A and B are shown apart, each in its own frame.
Chain A
């Protein structure tokens, strides 16, 4: 081999070692991989409580489970550190864990409600700029404290917290009861936006969640390593235990359903300890309110982001009977938004077309009769319109344009300076917004008409 080829070979070999960073390598086993990170207000003004949920890979392997020698081992540990910034929290956590803390595989950024209501602008920017963060990491708001959520954040069906976070996010497509994951990058874009307001899905502790004795007594089980925190939550309630609703369901109108609640209010017993439902409304970096699951659906419909969901619409033929309803399903919604502007006054017309199928009508009226179709369609339209109108009112009162109407308003201007001077978000609360729904029933299900009531039963009733 010529001297030149030797030289090139040596350079390439040396380069291969150097370029791969062998002198400052970090072994996988030397890193603590954060699966979710939460932020709350610190105990003192100006401080931040950062909670990290860190996977324990050796226990995730093969479904985890107790190890014979060491007793039951958690699939993850949580650590909460108080510091002025999140960056310092990572350093301080490393001192405690004995590993470098990495956010490269973080699956969720969770902000506590109190912190979100103060202002997230600076923190969101700090998160977005950190080089380990990927812009497609979902962001959510914790009803209450993020640290509480992360200490119990596990589903009985999943081994890994990150897997649970991924699967729970997918439920948006099936239910529409929360917004598709808002990503760090989207959130930051919206905080800076002059046309729309930021929003996030809301994650809350289930209404039946009670801290276990080990948690109330000696701190969070997850962080002690003595017990899996998920196991401290009874996934299957005891015999005789009843659901204790946190809201007075007796006060509900016949058209109101439990999907029209926030996650922490949903009457539930057993299953997982957390619920993801509803939408947090923001004005700039400040959280200013929340929407229920049903309200979130209408926001998504108005934005053409609604995918699937089922509704229980009050039976129009039996107005006084809340036990009767039309169980319908909607797949997708086409929204047309028209904006007119006269000086400072903005008029918005929202027309939404929904294609509906009968899923499980709970009624005594034969809605498969074609003559009843317009009646059912009107009932569905009225039901959805009433929720959308209420939601728009709520958002206008909060000054949060989560419908992205501002994007349409932008189209009425030729230049950006004109649009910026108009200050749409300050005009949104006074905009005149008209809504209309057009429901179209396309599938009637597998049966025609309701169950037959025998003449003898009718006679007995009379």
Chain B
């Protein structure tokens, strides 16, 4: 399959990735929030059962994920915006494409704002924030311009590091765990829990970029496998990250923390040599943040080019720069951590559920209707 000659599709140099690279990209894009306030936010909602939210929310996401994959498989070589255009018309495609881009700009922008605050608080307190943002987005732009394949390979390496870091954190912190922190077993109660599982499907919002990455998969049918692995790995990774934070900082202490996972690593002490385990966390954290930003920039740029039906590689590079600049602006405009958390966890993610639960299913339904109509047309005599 070639991506270069389709209308609305771009040729990105070396633009083919396997399902493992795609999974890694989505895994990093979905799980980097565990480095920030995500565990605390989920703890506020689900109390002692916060660890279960990623798992049950994944189960609740099955319908729209299935619809998304079905639609992508039915239109190999096309991205979700192009599919929307062919099934629902150009206005719907423009509207969906715009929302898709804004969401991704919001995701990366608020995450960058959180990272900026975190770095400014603990790692580089005297370095000017603008310099950090500019440096970060320079790296992100540089990686993004090199295309999906390069990004996919980098993501695969960083995903291994991130998973390894979490495994190491688990092992090294296990003697400090307080399992009683997971009691009472139903946390805030069944009603609030079910509501949380439903609304927090939005934590898988970051899987939606498969809609624009699918055409770059070497095998078009791999989109299903990619989504299954990405969601499964994200569920396990996020659940474990939240669990570690919960048993280290029993509810309600966890609610107050901004970067609980970083705090966990700061508590690990293995003699004088290994007492600064956060020095291991920080590089992996920063690498993950760079990959996260790059995936966001690439997904947004691909979404924007598809929405605007632009097809020149040079245009894509220009759009990548513009998107990265927009994200930089969002990161700087969010003036403090509290606002970044509110913007992300109280506005962006929860309200995205509406899009996730309707759009893929609507596309799937439209595809079915179009198929039936086509069959009837074909069956009719003459």
B189 touching A407, Cβ below 8 Å: no
Does residue B5 face the partner (Cβ distance < 8 Å to A)?
A: no
Bound-complex Cα distance A24 to B127 (A): 8
Is A444 part of the contact surface with B, judged by Cβ < 8 Å? no
Using an 8 Å CB-CB cutoff, how does the interface string of B264-289 with A read, 1 for contact, 0 for none?
A: 00111100000000000000000000
Q: How far is the CA of A410 from the CA of B181 in the complex (A)?
A: 9
Q: Tell me, in angstroms, the Cα distance from A416 to B125 when the chains sit together.
A: 38
A44 at the interface (CB under 8 A from B): no
Q: In the assembly, what is the distance between CA of A281 and CA of B125, in Å? A: 37
A419 close to chain B: CB less than 8 A: yes
User: Are A416 and B269 in contact (CB-based, < 8 A)?
Assistant: no
Docked-complex contact B263 and A416, CB < 8 angstroms: no
Bitwise, A397-434 to B at CB < 8 A (1) or not (0) is 00000001001101101111111000000000000000
Are B180's CB and A189's CB within 8 A?
Answer: no
Chain B contacts to A: CB under 8 angstroms:
47-48, 121-122, 124-127, 131, 135, 138, 178, 180, 183-189, 248-253, 263, 266-269
Q: In whole Å, how far is A223's beta carbon from the nearest beta carbon of chain B?
A: 28
Seen from chain A, the residues whose Cβ lies within 8 Å of a Cβ on chain B are: 11, 15, 18-19, 21, 24, 131, 134-136, 183, 185, 188-189, 192-193, 195, 404, 407-408, 410-411, 413-419
User: Do B253 and A410 have beta carbons less than 8 Å apart?
Assistant: no
Contacts of B126 in A (CB 8 A): 21, 24
Interface residues of B, dominant DSSP? loop
Contact A131-B122, Cβ < 8 Å, known A192-B252, A414-B184:
yes
CA–CA, A136 to B250, complex, Å?
A: 16
Is the beta-carbon distance between B184 and A185 smaller than 8 angstroms? no
Residues of the B chain whose Cβ atoms lie less than 8 Å from the Cβ of A415: 184, 186-189
Q: Which residues of B contact A19 (CB under 8 A)?
A: 124, 127, 135
Question: Considering residues A195, A415, A417, which has the most beta carbons from chain B within 10 angstroms of its beta carbon?
Answer: A415
Q: Specify which chain B residues have a CB less than 8 angstroms from the CB of A134 in the assembled complex.
A: 266-267
Residues of A within 8 A of B187 (CB): 415-416
Which A residues are CB-close (under 8 A) to B253?
188-189, 192-193
CB-CB < 8 A to A11: which residues of B? 138
Considering the chains assembled together, what is the distance between the CA atoms of A18 and B251 in angstroms?
40
On whether the beta carbons of A410 and B184 are closer than 8 Å, the reply is: yes
Shortest CB-to-CB span from A392 to chain B, Å, is 19
Alpha-carbon gap, A185 to B252, bound state (A) = 13
B124 touches A15 (CB 8 A): no
Contact present for A418 and B131 (CB under 8 Å): no
Distance between Cα atoms of A193 and B252 in the complex (Å): 7
B184 near A136 (CB under 8 angstroms)? no
User: When chains A and B are docked, how far (Å) is the Cα of A19 from the Cα of B126?
Assistant: 11
Distance between Cα atoms of A195 and B186 in the complex (Å): 17
User: Roughly how many angstroms separate A450 CA and B242 CA in the complex, as a whole number?
Assistant: 58
Taking A19-B127, A135-B266, A185-B248 as known contacts, 11 extra A-B pairs with beta carbons closer than 8 A to each other, sorted by chain A number, are A15-B135, A19-B124, A19-B135, A135-B263, A189-B250, A192-B252, A410-B180, A414-B189, A415-B187, A416-B187, A419-B184
* A18 in contact with B131 (CB, 8 Å): yes
Q: Please name 21 pairs of A and B residues whose Cβ atoms are closer than 8 Å in the assembled complex, sorted by A.
A: A18-B135, A19-B135, A131-B122, A135-B263, A136-B266, A183-B267, A185-B263, A189-B250, A189-B253, A193-B250, A404-B180, A407-B180, A407-B183, A408-B180, A410-B183, A411-B180, A411-B184, A413-B183, A414-B184, A414-B186, A419-B184
Residues of A within 8 A of B263 (CB): 135, 185
State whether A131 touches B251 (Cβ < 8 A). no
Report the minimal beta-carbon distance from A457 to chain B, rounded to whole angstroms: 54
> Across the two chains, which residue of chain B brings its CB closest to A185?
B267
Query: In the complex, what distance in Å separates the CA atom of A19 from the CA atom of B134?
Result: 12
User: Which residues from A are CB-within-8-Å of B138?
Assistant: 11
B180: chain A residues within 8 A (beta carbon): 195, 404, 407-408, 410-411
- The 10 A-B pairs of least Cβ separation, nearest first, read A407-B180, A410-B183, A415-B189, A413-B184, A189-B253, A416-B47, A24-B126, A414-B186, A135-B267, A136-B267
A416: chain B residues at CB < 8 Å are: 47-48, 184, 187-189, 251
- The answer to whether B188 and A417 have CB atoms under 8 Å apart is yes
A131 near B125 with CB under 8 A, answer yes
A131 to B262, CA, bound (A): 12
Q: In the complex the two chains form, what is the Cα distance from A219 to B178 in whole Å?
A: 46
CB distance from B326 to the nearest CB of A (A): 22
Closest to B124 in A: A21
Cβ-closest chain A residue relative to B182: A410
How far does the Cβ of A394 sit from chain B's closest Cβ, in whole Å? 23
Docked complex Cα distance between A4 and B178 (Å): 54
A266 and B188 alpha carbons, distance in the complex (Å): 49
